[in-house]
Every structure is written in C-alpha cells, then in structure tokens.
Structure 1
Amino acid sequence: MPRKGYPPEFRRKVLDLVEAGRPVREVARDLGISDQTIYTWRKQDLIDKGQLPGVTTTEQAELLAVRKRIRELETELSVTKRAIELVREVVPPKGGSKRSR
C-alpha cells in the first residue's frame, strides 16, 4: 500500500533511478528517505507488474473501500436493530386481534 507521505510521481521517479542502475543506498541518502522504503516500493512495483505474487495496489485500494463499506453497513444495521427495539418498547404488538373481513 502506498504511503500517503510521498506522492506516486515521486515514488515512480525513485524507482526509475534505481532501475537505471543507481544503488538504493545512494538514492535513499540523496533524497533523505530510508533504504527500506525504496525496497518496499520496488517490491510493490514488481507485484503491480505481475512479476511477483501478491496483492496489487489497485486490489489493496478496492479491499480498503470494501472494508469501509462493510463497516458502514454494519453500523446501519446495528442502528436499525436498535430502532426496532425502541419501537417495540413503545408500540404494543398487534397479536391477538382477529382479521377483519
């Protein structure tokens, strides 16, 4: 998952420098970021390109959106259930009355 602190364009330029043959340690030092950050970006890039197995950036974004929607729906469901409970406390059930003709 991309870190929010670095824009995708910056990550792409860093990866381009590494792919062009510059050592990761040198690029990291020059740009003031950690080596591990670049290695993480490079691994994710390989996953996105289909060269390594794993969850792509697009799939990660979709999963986050789905999980967020599930949380929203679960909240709506719990609110609805609570509302039903409150209504049942106030409004007596209609049981016992005969059907009208």
Structure 2
Amino acid sequence: MSTTQGEAPPSEAVMPRSFPPEFRRKVLDFVASGRKVAEVAQLLGISDQTIYVWRRQHLTDTGQLPGTNSSDLCELAAARKRIAELEAELATQLGTVRSLHQAWSGSKSCAPKPSSPRGPDNRALLPGPRLVVMQPGSSEALRHSRAGTG
C-alpha cells in the first residue's frame, strides 16, 4: 500500500503537533509577505490546512472575522477540563454513597434505635424545661404574668 508524501500509513496514527505562537506568527508573516501557502507549508513541513486554520484564528483574534478568540478558547478549554474533573469526583462520591446505602439497607441490625422514649406524637420525651404556649388573656397566662414568670 503506498501513501502520498506527508501522509502517514493507515496503520500509524499521527498526533497533531503543537507549535509555539512565535512560530505560527512567523509562518503567517511569510504568507502575508506574498509567499503562497502551499510553498510555505512544503518549506516548513507542515500542512497547508494548518496554515489556513492559523490564519483564520489570527483574523478572528484581531476582530477581522467573527468567532471565538484564542483567549476565550483557552478559558473554555480550562473550564471543560475542570467540569470533567468535577464530574469524575462526583461520580466517585455517588458510588461511595450508593455503596454505603446498600450496606446500610442490606443489614437490618444497623437500623438506628430511638435514643430516648417517645410520646404519643412520636416526639422525644426530653427531660428539662419545656416551652408552654399560652393564649394571651387566658387564666394561665394571667397567673404567670402576676407571678413574674412570664
């Protein structure tokens, strides 16, 4: 099986190379000085499509074309990465909660027991002072107000 120049054989996956911004700027300067994109691409061993993408992004960054500028793209990439990290963390925590829930519901002996006696309304009967609500003007309220306790 033969391949054209610059094309990887089908069995080998080629990862895109990353070029520093200074290099991209110089490539675009060559093209802006009148050299053909195909000539610059062949000279530097990069794809002409890469140069077109860089030129389009440069025009977007300078406001000559509509679109998302490079700094916004960087922020968006960072936000997406953070979202992926948070989603992974959440999935881990949900797995832990589900495991604990299964362990808790699977064992009846682990059910919590009331720690204090309960009244008829299922409220805990706690020792100590209780709040008594009295209607204003009732005989009980008048007794407390005369005694100085209310």
Give the structure with the higher percent helix. Answer: 1
- Paired residues, what number? 98
Match of 2:71 in 1: 58
Report which stretch shifted further, 20-29 or 52-61: 20-29
More contact order relative to length (CA 8 Å, sep ≥ 6): 1
**Partner of residue 84 from structure 1, selected from 84, 97, 102:** 97
Q: Cα RMSD over matched residues?
A: 2.1
Cα deviation 1:32-70 (Å, max 9, x = unaligned): 222221111100100111110111111111111111111
**Partner of residue 25 from structure 1, selected from 28, 31, 38:** 38
For 1:7 and 1:65, locate their aligned partners in 2 and report how far apart those are by CA, in whole Å.
19
Please state whether the residue corresponding to 2:100 is helix, strand or coil. helix
Structure 1 stretches lacking a partner, 5+ long: none
State TM-score, norm by structure 2: 0.57
Match of 1:5 in 2: 18
User: How big is the shift at 1:88?
Assistant: 2.4
How much identity, in percent, do the aligned residues show? 49
Please state whether the residue corresponding to 1:77 is helix, strand or coil. helix
